[in-house]
Amino acid sequence: MAEPETADLTEFHSHFDHVDTDSALLQRYEIDGHTPQGALRVNTIGDIERAQSAAMRQDFAVIATGGRTMLGLGMPPRRYDLALDLSGLDQVVDYEPNDFTISVQAGMTLAALQRTLASNGQFLPLDHPRFEQATVGGICAVGRGGLRRNALGGPRDWLIGMRMVTADGTAIKGGGKVVKNVSGYDLPKLFAGSLGTLGVIAEVTFKLRPQPASDQVVALHADSFEQALAASRAAATAAPFLNGCVALSERAAARAASQGADILDDRPALVLRASGLESAANEVLASALAAARSAGLEGEESRTPAIVETWQAIADLELGTPAAQVRLRIGLPPGNLERACSLVDELVPEVNSRVAAGDSGLLFLETATVDAETIRELRNRLGPLQGRLTIESAPLELKRAADVWGPPGPGVRLMNRVKEQFDPNGILNPGRYVDGI
Amino acid sequence: MVRDLIDAIGEQAVVWHDEDLLVYEYDGTIDRGNPDVIALPATTEDVIALIRIANRYDAPVTPRGAGTGLSGGALAAKGGVIIGMNRMRAILDLDVENKTALVQPGVVNLDLGAEAERHGLAYAPDPSSQRACTIGGNVAENAGGPHTLAWGTTTNHVLALELVTADGEVQWIGHETRDEPGYDLVGCVVGSEGTVGIVTQVLVRLVPRPTAVRTLLAVYDSVRQASNAVSAVVASGIVPAALEMIDKMTIAAVEPVLNTGFPLDAEAVLLVEVDGPESQVEAEGARVEGILNRFEPREVRSATDPEDRETLWAGRKGAIGALGQIMPNYYLLDGVVPRTSLPDVLDGVYEIAERYRLPVANMFHAGDGNLHPCLLFDEREPGATERVLDAGGEIMRLCVDAGGAITGEHGVGLEKRDYLPWIFSEADMDAMKSLRAAFGPTENFNPCKIFPKGHGCGEAGHQHAQHQIAKFGPKAFV
């Protein structure tokens, strides 16, 4: 399919009061050097239906956006005509606190959602970097668990219902508003983690949890990242009910410290979190700390009352700095973390920043000195460790040469057929996901 | 076709004489299906071969586990081949460090739990049929159980699957830590009720075994009081491991058989379980006990030792079996409603049962808002079955109108497929069918399940449902 020089936005202008075409403004939606011809801020699900229906008729490639914190995740777009900006779709649709469920529009930020819930002593157990900007729709579209995923799971585990708009502009839904439901196929799970390639997420319903009576965060300084990592594994094994267990390298700790993590400085560290009733959190933390000490962490403990700020500064490390660094994410069974780190040390000469979740099997790296060949080698050798490496951010050439997602796994045949069913014309976030989906 | 099946997997593994087929006509529902032949594969390769043979003859395929399902999912609605997975029952690996187990689909739920327990771990989903039901069936139905209140249902515990799709192709989907980039195909297959393929290996997540457990049992003089106690526990900020209710009719059934010590004139019994680290269980147990006491219970019992806890649970776990004391047949429903509407919906259930002159026993997952009204009847009595089905439809409708859904954990299956339009529009169902189509030629794969209508699905058998739909309106909150 030939790439059109300019998309004809006439139909959009006739349907909507305002389509942004100002080039300075459109820069906000830029992905790997591609900017759309226009951006449309939607205010209702009906807007999304009309926009998709027009896009389908005119064969426009549409990329739905929220807080744009992870807009860069994925391969460069094959086509990009219209940015569909959902950040204005940010209202609570339905909230009965005693049902422990909430339905919100996709453009609501995670921070705004958490504030609404906190006023009733509830919360949604999900972490996400830059949660003041990140929207629930975007978080679901990316669909990954974060550094606390061992304790919390991911969006898929809290989603109980969803409204979406298909490529051709049809509003559909899956799931419902009850916490346990097997009526029909689980479309919310299909759309969570689909990266906007199957339809536009318009509204989501989550099940909720009561806020814990006690939430504690403790940092232990370490001599090296390796030592912090070994201690994180020991702590995770000794205290399986931990609610966070993260090892940080010097630079990662220093950056988190500069962003408000007051218990960190420029030394490598292990950060532990435990929640629940106070006595239970104390018990979990005590066994985790004892294990970390046995693994060689001798420094003093620092505790903070600023749990939210501290943890957010750590969660934000997932996104790293905007500088022209290469950022990698490796996910694997937690028991294989240390071997994965040794592999990285062996193959990548200079790693600037390392963050590892010892209980969750996640490793984030920043480096300036990695090429496509090294990434291929890393992936090959991570294979036997069940490790999957994703390029979170990199110069365009490296993204293309090494493939952001890596060689597709055995499920790719079915994934392509699902894509074919839901977006036969390939107009939704085209080319950006696994195997060119 | 039978000859081809025998050539593929051997004579011993193929059942086709009429009298042998009889046991495969049933599952846990009141529907029936008539398979033409049963094939019992021993390997993934067998499954591939069987599906390809069936496709060649254009024969319907119905996967089956232990046949304990409660929505007709394992019934051969259009005849054809039932592929029974019971011979594939090995636990292939248990990784203690990474808390996973690799199992074949025929492994019995309780056997996996016992194996995990030997390593200080647990497999969380625990349907009441766990002594018989298999992991493959649990995956198909996204099975729940009392302990999914804190830990979630099967879908939260399945990491990866080996799947033979309806087109006879095999592939692994998913990943140990959910890090395979791409669509969550595992999330799509779990709960798809055997309509897209057959699972031949399952990688499940195990969870740490709690170091302490306390079970509390409270006896109340009214269902309202018990319901209010449930709401208060949920609102208190405690997430119990389980929060169950049984009502008077259930007590009347279990007491004479199981000697649970429940007073026969009590209206409701609540079971609450808290687990976790020792100190948490102690503190939460005390708080739960305080809350239960606020609603004027007749008595509150508590146990921490495994044997005593088992005694407290006996009345709940043995409830279904004991109902035969009262009537020869039962029809077990599976509605789910927002938790705050539970007391009103329960009132409605009793009202409907009374109107249809049917005894009803309730035993259910109160903490999840997941009701299991059990209508008792004698199918030999003329018109009784029709009355039960009508009352069941009306109860389903009541749940839907309360903002709920038609099934919390049993599946839609054959039983409730005609009710699906009460909660989903044509467009919603078309999207679901699009997903199904991605898995190959699925029209004949466990046909007549989940979706209403369907070519050759014996519409006559569903007159009762059509009648319900006419009576209560075609759509609820679509």
Is A391 contained in some domain? yes
Q: What pLDDT score was predicted for residue B321?
A: 83
The verdict on A109 and A42 lying in the same domain is: yes
Query: Are A226 and A194 in a shared domain?
Result: no
Structural domain B91-208, CATH architecture? 2-Layer Sandwich (3.30)
Residue of B nearest to A436 (CA): B182
B263-292 residues touching A, CB cutoff 8 A:
276-280, 282-284
d(CA A158, CA A117): 14
Same domain, A223 and A308: yes
Based on the domain organization, do A175 and A310 belong to the same domain? no
| Residues of chain A neighbouring B430 (CB-CB closer than 8 A) | 172
Interface probe with A: pick from B44, B159, B184, B419, most Cβ of A within 10 Å: B184
| A383: closest CA of chain B, how far (Å) | 11
| Domain B2-84: CATH class, spelled out | alpha beta
Does residue A250 sit in the same domain as residue A384?
Answer: no
pLDDT at A324 (0 to 100): 63
Instruction: Outline where DSSP puts E strands in A152-244.
Output: 159-166, 171-175, 199-207, 209-210, 214-221
> Half-sphere exposure (CA, 13 Å, Cβ side) for B421?
13
Contact B63, B85 (CB under 8 A): yes
Contact criterion met (CB < 8 Å) for B277 and A178: no
Q: Does B176 touch chain A (CB under 8 A)?
A: yes
Class of the domain covering B212-322: alpha beta
Residue A163 lies in a domain: yes
The SS3 call for residue B110 is helix
Tell whether pTM > 0.90.
yes
Residues in chain A predicted with pLDDT less than 70, given as ranges, are 1-7, 322-324
pLDDT at residue number B187: 98
Distance of CA A270 to the CA centre of its chain: 22
Mean predicted lDDT score pLDDT of chain A = 95
Q: Which of residues 430-469 of B touch A (CB under 8 A)?
A: 430-432, 434-439, 450
Across the interface, whether the CB atoms of B435 and A174 are under 8 A apart is answered: no
How does DSSP assign B124-155, residue by residue?
A: ----TTTTT-BHHHHHHHT---TTHHHH--GG
Q: State residue B474's pLDDT score.
A: 42
Q: State residue A2's pLDDT score.
A: 45
Residue A430 lies in a domain: no
CB contact under 8 A, B424 and A284: no
- CB interface of B with A, residues 32-91, below 8 Å: none
A98 and A241 assigned to the same domain: no
pLDDT score for B262: 86
With respect to residue A221, please indicate whether it lies within any of the assigned structural domains: yes
- B428 and A184 within 8 Å at the Cβ level: the answer is yes
Q: Which CATH number is B327-472 given?
A: 3.30.70.2740
pLDDT recorded at residue B468: 54
Q: How far is CA B338 from the centre of its chain?
A: 19
- Among residues A211, A228, A259, the one where a domain terminates is A211
Any chain A CB within 8 A of the CB of B338?
A: yes
- Residue B470: what pLDDT? 55
A4 & A122 share domain: yes
Q: What residues does B215 pair with on adjacent strands? A: B273, B303
A111/chain B closest Cα distance in angstroms: 21
| Residue A421 placed within a domain | no
Is B429 near chain A, with CB under 8 Å? yes
Query: Is position A418 within any domain?
Result: no
CATH of the domain at A34: 3.30.465.10
Helices (H), A76-178: 110-118, 136-142, 149-152, 155-158
Whether A335 contacts chain B with CB within 8 A: yes
Whether A437 has its CB under 8 Å from any CB of chain B: the answer is yes
Contacts of A382 in chain B (CB under 8 A): none
Residue A303 in any domain: the answer is: yes
ipTM for the complex?
0.96
Stretch 287-326 of chain A: residues touching chain B, C-beta under 8 Å: none
CB contacts under 8 A, B 100-139 vs A, are 100
CB contact under 8 A, A100 and B234: yes
Is B2-84's fold the same as B91-208's?
no
pLDDT confidence of residue B476:
38
Asked if residue A344 and residue A395 are part of one domain, the reply reads: yes
**Domain check: are A91 and A182 in the same one?**
yes
Size of interface A-B (CB pairs under 8 A): 255
> How many other C-beta atoms lie within 10 A of the C-beta of residue B24?
21
For residue B371, give the nearest of B403, B395, B401 by alpha carbon: B395
Interface of B with A in 136-155 (CB under 8 A): 141-142, 144, 148, 152-153, 155
Residue from B267, B229, B233, B272 nearest B248 by CA: B267
Interface test with A, best of B177, B236, B239 (most A CBs within 10 A): B177
CB-based contact B98 A335, cutoff 8 Å: yes
The verdict on A14 and A87 lying in the same domain is yes
Q: Does B343 touch chain A (CB under 8 A)?
A: no
| Same domain? A187 vs A86 | yes
Residue A413 domain-assigned?
no
Q: How far is A79 from chain B (nearest CA, A)?
A: 20
Give the pLDDT of residue B259: 85
For residue B85, the distance in angstroms to the closest alpha carbon of chain A comes to 22
8 A C-beta contact, residue A195 and residue A429:
yes
CA B47, CA B168: separation in Å to the nearest integer? Answer: 8
Residue A1: the pLDDT is 43
- For chain B, list residues with pLDDT below 50: 460-461, 473-478
* pLDDT (0 to 100) of residue B465: 56
Which of B176, B231, B403 is the closest to A333 by Cβ?
Answer: B176
Looking at the complex, report in whole angstroms how far the Cα of residue A184 sits from the nearest Cα belonging to chain B. 6
Check whether residue A183 and residue A261 sit in a common domain: no
Count of domains forming chain A: 3
Summarised one tens digit per residue, pLDDT across range B185-233 is 999 999 999 999 999 999 999 999 988 999 999 999 999 999 999 989 9
- Nearest Cα neighbor of B435 from A189, A183, A182, A13 is A189
- Residue that terminates a domain, selected from A194, A211, A228: A211
pLDDT given for residue B279 in this prediction: 86
Of A285, A314, A343, the residue that ends a domain is A314
Contact B319, B362 (CB under 8 A): no
Which CATH number does the domain housing residue A338 bear? 3.30.70.260
- Contact criterion met (CB < 8 Å) for A179 and B337: no
Task: Assign 3-class secondary structure to B337-403.
Answer: CCHHHHHHHHHHHHHHHHHCCCCEEEEEEHHHCEECEEEEECCCCCCHHHHHHHHHHHHHHHHHHCC
**What is the tens place of the pLDDT at every residue in A268-277?**
999 999 999 8
Asked if B198 contacts B253 with a C-beta cutoff of 8 angstroms, the reply is no
Determine the structural domain holding residue A355 and report its residue range.
Answer: 319-402
Structure tokens at B46: 């067998």
Residue B81: strand, helix, or coil: strand
Domain residue ranges of chain B, discontinuous segments joined by + = 2-84, 91-208, 212-322, 327-472
Q: Which residue among A145, A213, A411 sits closest to B237, beta carbon to beta carbon?
A: A213
Nearest C-alpha of chain B: how many angstroms from A174? 7
Give which of A185, A194, A429 to mutate to test B binding, by max B Cβ within 10 Å.
A185
Q: Which secondary-structure segment (H or E) carries A391?
A: strand A388-393
